[in-house]
Amino acid sequence: MGKITLDLFRYDQAVDDEPHRERIDIDFPETSTVLDALEYAKAEVDGSISFRRSCRSAICGSCSMNINGTTGLACKTPIRDVLRADNSVKIDPMPNFEPMKDMVVHMDPFWDKYARLKPYLQPADKDEDHERERRVSPEDMKKLVAVANCVMCATCYALCPVVSVDPSFAGPAAIAYAYRFIEDTRDSKQAERVAQISDDYLWLCAHCYACSYCPKHVDPQDRIIDTKRRSIALGQTDAPGPRHALVVAKTIKQTGMLAENEVIAGTIGRFNFKGLLKVMPLGLRMASKGKIPPLFMHPVQKVEEIRTIFESMEVPVA
């Protein structure tokens, strides 16, 4: 047993104008989890401390919260891994959500984005035979198991830097779930699902891998990449995101290098004058300091080898 201080975010939306912090000292073993410590504090010190929890074993996905600045499941976080020098643990609600009471947040935006996906199978023959078993081969199932482990704890959504500046972004979990239905051989709405998730800014993912902290190893960042690839294969290419990917591929194939100038023009659209005008101020700021990428990229040595790789693998390019 040791003295541990829980440095808690306290707030009740129904009565408080502003949140405040409260420090609660408990005698508690460092080998326990953060959730155990919270439950102990609630039982022994202050019954009004509020947080969501149920299974205590990383299955229900209820207890995600911000612990010393990073978000994760309290039931899966040992205290000794996060104890600060002064033997305290700072606990806050998940960021990117509106706080309701202490660590409890309003989850509605997260669920709304999930619901928009129509997260249920829509087979082509759904009205014909309700009793028939629809089988999936083990090979096809492999693609779906990672997402099937998702417990919808919203850790990825809370960690996502794009959600933090643009709440219209679907967020990692919703895109991972879209992938799970798009790749399910029993589903018939692949094209509709890809179009819908593209509208929900699939391509706004910043490639930051913050969602690689997923406590259930769903790896949403890889599912996002898979979904982008599928959307290109299905012909959803008329947007800055897919144009960017395809023009990057084109310049690497031609020169071996990612040719910055051509990629900027190709992503915005060479004849999209309004779009080009918008990047002008930044372009001029950079140009005034001599930061001008070469207008003509000289191919790297043995560039023909690079072209052989692209051609052997039938890589789509702009």
Q: Which of residues 203-222 bind another protein (CB under 8 A)?
A: 203-210, 212-213, 219, 221
Q: Does 249 bind another protein (CB under 8 A)?
A: yes
Residues that contact another protein, how many (by CB under 8 A) = 77
Binding to another protein in span 129-158, by CB under 8 A = none
Q: Which of 73, 75, 82, 197 binds another protein (CB under 8 A)?
A: 82
Q: Does 290 bind another protein (CB under 8 A)?
A: yes
Closest CA to 111 of 103, 119, 101: 119
Choose one: 96-104, 135-143, 163-171, 178-186; the region binding another protein (CB under 8 A).
163-171
Q: Does 305 bind another protein (CB under 8 A)?
A: yes
- CB burial readout 269-295, b (16+ within 10 A) else e: eeeeeeeeeeeeeeeeeeeeeeeeeee
What is the crossing angle of helices 240-255 and 303-312, to 10°?
130
Q: Which of 2, 161, 167, 235 binds another protein (CB under 8 A)?
A: 161
Q: Does 256 bind another protein (CB under 8 A)?
A: yes
Closer by beta carbon to another protein, 141 or else 297: 297
In angstroms, the CA 107 to CA 162 distance is: 17
Q: Does 286 bind another protein (CB under 8 A)?
A: yes
Backbone angles phi, psi at 26, to 5 degrees: -135, 155
Burial class (CB in 10 A: 0-12, 13-18, 19+), 79: buried
Q: Which of 165, 191, 277, 280 binds another protein (CB under 8 A)?
A: 165
Cβ neighbors of 302 (< 8 A, separation 6 or more) are none
Binding to another protein in span 229-248, by CB under 8 A = 229, 232, 240-242, 244-246, 248
Q: Which of 26, 42, 189, 316 binds another protein (CB under 8 A)?
A: 316
Binding to another protein in span 166-195, by CB under 8 A = 166
Strands (E), 1-155: 2-10, 20-28, 64-67, 70-73, 88-92, 98-101, 104-106
Binding to another protein in span 25-44, by CB under 8 A = none
Residue 3, beta-bridge partner list: 27
**Closest separation in Å from C-beta 44 to another protein:** 25
Burial class (CB in 10 A: 0-12, 13-18, 19+), 48: exposed
